[in-house]
Amino acid sequence: MPKISLKGQQMPESPIRKLVPYAEIAKKKGHKVYHLNIGQPDIKTPEVALNAVKNADITVLEYSHSAGFESYRTKLAAYYQKQGLPINTADIIITTGGSEALLFAMGSTMDADDEIIIPEPFYANYNGFSTASGVKVVPVISTIDTGFALPPIADFEKLITPKTKAILICNPGNPTGYLYSQEEIMQLAELVKKHDLFLIADEVYREFAYDGFVHHSVMNVPGLEEHAIMIDSVSKRFSMCGARIGCIVSKNKEVMATAMKFAQARLSPPTYAQIASEAALDTPQSYFDDVITEYKDRRDTLIAELNKIEGVKVATPKGAFYCIAKLPVKNADDFAQWLLESYDFNGETVMVAPAAGFYSTKGVGLDEVRIAYVLKKEDLIKSVQILKEALKAYNN
């Protein structure tokens, strides 16, 4: 029988989606499953975006420009400028989701066996994109004790080798909800300039910052223009995960010319989704104000409820809509599967994402789970109640 590739064998499973078959079994038993495992917001997509697709007068669904509609890129540049980011139309290539933007960034800056340093825990698919690109992830561990703040710069520096090409951060972070301070961004900026590396920042959760904290973009650091690459997406900002529209942004002309070759190879991003994304930029500020208020309330509710459970430790997120919780269990993978396969509380159970899949260091995060607070408050309260009862039953 012909063999599949080594790369295919090494490709990691999604820690978020691998439990889906067990959730399906639970639902077939008639159990209600509260999904705390996936960052799929329940917030309504802006009407202006949906209406733009409904009202699109298209007779031929043709290719768009490989970099995406010029009208969209121009409007997107204006949106960034309003946020105080000095980004022009030429600095943007529209991609099929933030995922493709990350693949373009890696493909444009790294060769096989090159290294990328990433603070962990990190978005699980960074492992997948790195494997697909033949790139080695070198993790630097951040901990729940510091709320997953940036590890000391010395920890990064000792990992830099001639093979190191970039540092990748997610800001605010998935799965931790940590928001990097201006000082932390400046420390990274100085480090990449000193060692002539790229600083790739996944900023898809930019709007989701709480408690008066402010998001600091890598695109806003003077002198970092040749080093900074920003990854963005409409998925979370406008609750448009299914649109699959993102972008890669950089002032580095060589990076963008190279990314453009990858963009041409896949022809163009999807037309209808670009129409929706361009229209979404007309969403009023009141939409975001309401969404941020809602998520802050959900976060406060979730953290307060989790803190009531004996043996649970949780770091309060400053942004995004995730948190990492340390549970009084040895193996969160086993616990998460058991919750779906063998447990229910009054016909209901919860689905969480085991956090080990968000680390690339083996054996780390085994007792942690990622929780996405994308459900309404009463569902979060109910979910944590189920979790509390489940931990008692599991540990007995």
207 neighbors 46 (Cβ within 8 angstroms): no
Instruction: Please determine, for residue 40, whether its predicted confidence score (pLDDT) is greater than 90.
Output: no
Residue 328 · residue 369 · CB < 8 Å = no
Q: Tokens in use for 244?
A: 């699959």
pLDDT beyond 80 at 331: yes
Query: For residue 2, is pLDDT > 80?
Result: yes
CA distance 255 to 268: 18
6-44+286-395 is classed in which CATH architecture?
Alpha-Beta Complex (3.90)
Tell me the C-alpha to C-alpha distance, in Å, between residue 132 and each of 136, 160, 374. 10, 22, 29
> CATH assignment of 60-280?
3.40.640.10
Mean pLDDT within 379-384: 96
Measured CA to CA, the distance from residue 324 to residue 314 in angstroms comes to: 6
Does residue 117 carry a pLDDT above 90? yes
**Alpha carbon distance 299, 390 (integer Å):** 21
Instruction: Please name the residue that has the structure tokens 């600095």.
Output: 91
Say if residues 163 and 113 touch (Cβ distance below 8 Å): yes
The pLDDT confidence band at residue 286, using thresholds 50, 70 and 90, is very high
Mean per-residue pLDDT over the chain, rounded: 96
Span 1-25, average pLDDT: 89
Residue 13 has what pLDDT? Answer: 82
Upstream peptide bond of 121 is cis (omega within 30 degrees of 0) = yes
What is d(CA 39, CA 372) in angstroms, rounded to the nearest whole number?
A: 6
Instruction: Report the distance separating Cα 390 and Cα 396, nearest Å.
Output: 10
* Res 42 pLDDT > 90: no
pLDDT tens, position by position, 211-269: 999 999 999 999 999 999 999 999 999 999 999 999 999 999 999 999 999 999 999 99
User: What is the distance between the alpha carbons of residues 284 and 289, in angstroms, rounded to a whole number?
Assistant: 9
Q: Where are the domains of the chain?
A: 6-44+286-395, 60-280
Tokens of 160: 């830099």
pLDDT the model gives residue 18: 80
The reported pLDDT for the residue numbered 17 is 76
Q: Which is nearest to 38 in space by CA: 366, 350, 387, 337?
A: 350
Q: How far apart are CA 328 and CA 306, in angstroms?
A: 12
At 122-181, the pLDDT tens digits run 999 999 999 999 999 999 999 999 999 999 999 999 999 999 999 999 999 999 999 999
Tokens of 373: 């607070």
What is the distance, to the nearest Å, from the Cα of residue 179 to the centroid of all Cα atoms in its chain?
13
- Rounded distance between C-alpha atoms, residue 202 and residue 321, angstroms: 15
Is the Cβ–Cβ distance between 164 and 139 less than 8 Å?
no
**Mean pLDDT within 280-292:** 94
- Taking the alpha carbons at both ends of the chain, their separation in whole angstroms is 47
Sheet holding 368-372, edge to edge: 313-314, 322-326, 368-372, 353-354
H helices of 47-175, in order, are 47-54, 70-82, 97-109, 125-133, 153-157
Residue 327 pLDDT greater than 90, yes or no:
yes
pTM over 0.75: yes
User: Hey, what are 141's tokens?
Assistant: 């561990």
Measured CA to CA in angstroms, residue 133 lies from 129, 199, 241, 265 at distances of 6, 17, 24, 16
Over range 344-369, report the average pLDDT: 94
